[in-house]
Amino acid sequence: MRRAIYPGSFDPVTNGHLDIIERGCKLFDEIIIAILINPEKRPFFTIEERREILKEVLQEINRSTCGLRVDDFEGLLVHYAVAQEADAIVRGIRAISDYEYELQMALMNRRLEPTIETVFMMPAEKYSYVSSRLVKEVFQLGGELNGLVPSLVEERMKQKMASG
Ligand SMILES: Nc1ncnc2c1ncn2[C@@H]1O[C@H](COP(=O)(O)OP(=O)(O)OP(=O)(O)O)[C@@H](O)[C@H]1O
Ligand SMILES: [Mg+2]
C-alpha cells in the first residue's frame, strides 16, 4: 500500500492539478490532496470551500485508478505526512522556475524527515502555464477559463464574485 500526499493551496483547483493527480495515481494506491492552511495568504476561497470544491470535482471526474482523499493541514508538511503514514510527497513541476523552489523544499523536507521521498511530476504541456494565481487574475479581468479549470470551479468563482 503506497500512499502519497499532494499538498498545495488549490485556490482554486485547476486542470493542471487534476493532471498531476491522475498521473500520481499510476504510482500510488492512495493520494491525499492536502490543502495547506496558510493564515498569511488572503485566499479567494476559504479552506472549507476549497475542500468541498475539490471533493465535488474529484467525484465528477471519477476516472482515477487510486484512492483519493481531501484533507487540510497546518504546520510542517513532513509532520503531517508522517502522521498520515505517507511514503511520499507529490509535487508538480511546470517550468524551470518551479524547479528551484521545489528542489529547495524537497531537500529541506528530506533533512527534516529522511523517510519521506518527494516525487516530481510533469503535467501535459497544455497545462504547463496554468497556475491558480493566473487563473484568478484572468477571471477577475473577465477572461474565459474554459479548459483551464473544471466548469464547476468557474461556476463557483462566478457565484462567489456575485455574492461579494
Ligand atoms: N499546471 C500545473 N502543472 C503541474 N503542476 C502544477 C500545476 N499547477 C500547480 N502545480 C503544482 O501543484 C502543487 C500545488 O500547487 P499550488 O496549489 O500552489 O498551485 P499553484 O497553481 O502553484 O498556485 P499559486 O498560483 O497560488 O501558487 C505544486 O507542486 C505546483 O507546482
Ligand atoms: Mg504555486
Sign of the CA dihedral running 112, 116, 122, 123: negative
Mutation probe of ligand 1 site: the residue of 40, 119, 132, 149 with most atoms within 8 A of C-beta: 132
Counting ligands in written order, the one closest to the CA of 135 is: 1
**Which domain range does residue 123 map to?**
3-162
Query: Looking up cell 488549490, which residue turns up?
Result: 10
* Lowest pLDDT segment from 18-22, 58-62, 124-128: 58-62
- The pLDDT of residue 44: 97
- The pLDDT of residue 63: 67
Domain harbouring 120, CATH code:
3.40.50.620
**Catalytic center residues:** 17, 41, 94, 132
Judged against a pLDDT cut of 70, whether residue 4 lies above it is answered with yes
Q: How confident is the model at residue 8 (pLDDT cuts 50, 70, 90)?
A: very high
Query: Looking up cell 465528477, which residue turns up?
Result: 60
Rounded to 5 degrees, what are φ and ψ at 3? -120, 135
Overall average pLDDT of the 46-69 stretch: 91
When the pLDDT of each residue in the chain is averaged and rounded to a whole number, the result is 95
**85, 3 Cβ separation under 8 angstroms:** yes
Kindly report the pTM of this predicted structure: 0.96
The tally of domains found in the chain comes to 1
Judged against a pLDDT cut of 90, whether residue 39 lies above it is answered with no
Overall average pLDDT of the 100-120 stretch: 98
Judged against a pLDDT cut of 90, whether residue 134 lies above it is answered with yes
- Best CA proximity match to 89, nearest among 163, 154, 33: 33
Overall average pLDDT of the 110-120 stretch: 98
